[in-house]
Amino acid sequence: KNQVEQSPQSLIILEGKNCTLQCNYTVSPFSNLRWYKQDTGRGPVSLTIMTFSENTKSNGRYTATLDADTKQSSLHITASQLSDSASYICVVSAMNNAGNMLTFGGGTRLMVKP
Amino acid sequence: DGGITQSPKYLFRKEGQNVTLSCEQNLNHDAMYWYRQDPGQGLRLIYYSQIVNDFQKGDIAEGYSVSREKKESFPLTVTSAQKNPTAFYLCASKGLGRGNTGELFFGEGSRLTVL
């Protein structure tokens, strides 16, 4: 069964500090992995996409990594800001005969405090 | 501006009533999806449609119904048969075929509360 596990479930950090969120998956056959940011009461917005051949990709203060061998991804946030407070969702895509199937992680809820 | 519009944002329903959540997109996307989000859980797929007048059940379709009469619209009806309908509902769309990145674009969500 395809699964995506995220850790930690929740995290509190002080403004200006860095943090790293983890995503482990058992999805096959792997197609790509996306990180989404979801503000409270809003819809998720894509931050970055990682394909099989990519190890690292940055989007401003967000840096995602992918280790396809160990089936792990991380999202590193540098110099956190209050606006980074949100849930971060890891979504892994598998390609099979039925098309592109998505498996969602449960998310990490990040709170940045002043 | 292009995007996905969900309405209403908040909805209250008495037990035994059906309610319909609206989802409209002007992104010219072929595929549209409905997800349910509960606290601490990943998004779960209710229904999806890849072409007009056709749709498929997702993982938790029981108690829900949809229609796809127009490319732009994919309304979701939460029926009285849904045992635990209180949740946050998200509509999404995606372009299919070459040139599309496979990114899901989400609406702002509809929060349904059953009283």
DSSP string, A29-64: SEEEEEEEEE-TTS--EEEEEEETT-SEEEETTEEE
3-state helix, strand, coil in chain A (%, to 5): 5, 65, 35
Most confident of A26-30, B7-11, B97-101: B7-11
**Mean pLDDT across chain B:** 92
Asked if the C-beta of A44 comes within 8 angstroms of chain B's C-beta atoms, the answer is yes
Structure tokens given for B14: 């008495």
B18: pLDDT strictly greater than 90? yes
Quote the pLDDT of residue A12: 98
DSSP string, B33-75: EEEEE-TTS--EEEEEEEETTEEEE-TT-TTEEE--SBTTB--
Which residues does chain B have within 8 Å of residue A93's beta carbon, measured at their own beta carbons?
A: 102
Please give the Cα distance from B61 to B63 (Å, whole number). Answer: 6
Question: Which residue positions in chain A have pLDDT lower than 70?
Answer: 96-99
Quote the pLDDT of residue A1: 80
Percent of chain A with pLDDT over 70: 96
Quote the pLDDT of residue B25: 97
Q: Of the candidates B44, B102, B107, which has its C-beta nearest A43's C-beta? A: B107
Question: Which chain A residue is nearest to residue B91, measuring alpha carbons?
Answer: A43
| pLDDT tens, position by position, B23-49 | 999 999 999 999 999 987 889 999 999
Quote the pLDDT of residue A28: 87
Question: Which chain B residue is nearest to residue A10, measuring alpha carbons?
Answer: B40
Quote the pLDDT of residue B88: 96
Beta-carbon count within 10 A of B97 CB = 6
B73: pLDDT strictly greater than 90? yes
B92: pLDDT strictly greater than 90? yes
Q: Are the CB atoms for A92 and A30 separated by under 8 Å?
A: yes
